[in-house]
Amino acid sequence: MVAGGSGRISEGVGPGARQLTSHAGRPVGAWASFLIQGGISPTAEITPFRRFRSSHVACIHVSIHPYVRTFLVQAKTDDGPRMVVHLSAPNRDGTGGLRQGGRNPGVRRNDGASKNAHLKALEGAGERLQLLKADLLDYNSVASAVAGCEGVFHVASPVPSGRSSNPEVEVIAPAVTGTTNVLKACYEAKVRRVVVVSSVAAVLSNPNWPKGKVFDEDSWSDEEYCRKNEDWYFLSKTLAEREAFAYAAKTGLDVVTILPALVIGPLMQSTVNSSSKILINYLKGDHETVENRLRNLVDVRDVADALLLAYEKSEASGRYICSSPPIKVSDMINILKSLYPSYPYPKNFVEVEDNFAYSSEKLQKLGWTFRPIDETLRDSVESYRAFGILN
C-alpha cells in the first residue's frame, strides 16, 4: 500500500516521526487489510522507492508481520485523492474501540482507537484518511475491501509465538484460507496484479535439494517433511504460496510472490518484532557463546522496494527470493563492535555445518538492489536506542 497524490515516503525514526507504525502486540492470527481508494499521480514522488503509477492499491496484511507493511505503507498525504485504510482483525473479545459505520458492507468504522493514533498523525490524514475494520477470514468482508482496486499486496501470515497446540487451526488454516479469500476477491474485482509475501520458509525445508547448492526459486519446502519436523510456519507459507499459484493457474489472475529472508532494519515503534530480537540479543550479550552460522538477512526497506518492483514491473512473474548476501554471525558482530564497541557482545563462537544461502539473482535482474549490511545494522541499532530498547 502506498499513498496517492504527491506523497513522499518518510524515513524518520523515533517517537516523533510521522509514519505508519506496526501493531505487533496484537494476538497471533489477527488480520488486517489496508485499502487506498483514489488516484496515484504518475508524477508522485515516493522515495526511497520508485514511482507508483496505479490508481487503486490495497495492502492486506496480518498484524504479526506489520514490519514489512510499515515501510510499504508510510507516506505523507499532503495532496491527492482521498485515502481509505481498511484494518481487518477479528477481535477475540469483541472490544477494540470500534463502532459500526462506513460505506462498505462487512467493514466497521474505526474512529480514533489509541492503537491507530499514528495513522491519524499523518499529514493530511484528517481530510483524506478513513480507518475501517474487516475480517479477512470472512470472504464478503475481504471482497468489500478489495472492490475497486487495481492492485493488492497480501503481506505475511500468522506466526506462532511458541509451539502451537493446534497448528492446523492456529497457523495453517488462517494462512491458506486468508490467502484464498484475498485471491478470490481480487479475481472477482478484476484486480490487475496481486503481490503475495511468502517466505524463504517455503524454500528451505527441502531434503531433496542438492547439498551445498545455493537455494533458488526452484526449491519448494517439502510438505511431509515440514509436518514430520512440526515446522508449522514453514508448512503454512508453503501451502499458502502453492494455493496462490494454483488459483492463478485456474483463473488467470496475475500473482507474483516475494520470499524474504530474515527481515531486520530500523523499527518505527517500541514493540520489538521477533526477527529484530535476534539482533537485540547479540547487542545485549544474552549468550556468551553463540553458533557462528550464516545469517541470510534482508533490510525491511529493501523488502518494501521489492514489493513495489514486483507490482510495477510488467515482466515480473512467479517467485522472487529477497535476501542480501549471507553473513557469518561473527562477521556481523564485528561490524557492530566497530560501530558500537560498548555493548556486551557474545565472546565465543561455535562453528556449525547446517549453513545455507539463497540466491536473489532473479529479483536483482528485475532491478532490485539491497543496502550494505553496515547501513542496515547501524540504522537498526539507532532505532533501538531511540526507543530505549537497549537500556
The average pLDDT across 271-290 equals: 91
CA-wise closest residue to 137 among 170, 115, 104: 170
What is the end-to-end Cα distance of the chain in Å, rounded? 34
Residues forming beta bridges with residue 154, ordered by sequence position = 60, 196
Q: How far is CA 328 from the centre of its chain?
A: 24
Three cell numbers written together for 268: 518505527
Instruction: Match domain 72-89+114-263+296-323+356-366 to its CATH number in 3.40.50.300, 3.20.20.100, 3.40.50.720, 3.40.50.970.
Output: 3.40.50.720
Q: What is the mean pLDDT of the chain?
A: 74
Torsion of CA 243, 245, 250, 252, to 10 degrees: 140
334 has pLDDT over 50:
yes
Report phi then psi at 196, rounded to 5.
Answer: -105, 130
> Active-site positions?
237
CA-wise closest residue to 369 among 332, 324, 311: 324
Percent of the chain with pLDDT over 90: 49
Three cell numbers written together for 315: 515482466
Domain locations along the chain: 72-89+114-263+296-323+356-366
351 φψ region: left (φ > 0), alpha (ψ -120 to 50), beta (else): beta
Please list, in sequence order, all residues whose beta carbon lies within 8 angstroms of the beta carbon of residue 334, skipping any fewer than 6 positions away: none
Name which residue leads in pLDDT, 50 or 70. Answer: 70
Residues 101-126 have pLDDT tens digits of 233 333 444 444 555 665 566 666 67
Looking at residue 347, the DSSP 8-state letter turns out to be: -
CA-wise closest residue to 307 among 200, 188, 221, 193: 193
Residues 56-68 have pLDDT tens digits of 555 444 333 444 4
Q: What is the Cα–Cα distance from 2 to 5, expressed in whole angstroms?
A: 10
Report phi then psi at 257, rounded to 5.
Answer: -120, 145
The average pLDDT across 281-293 equals: 94
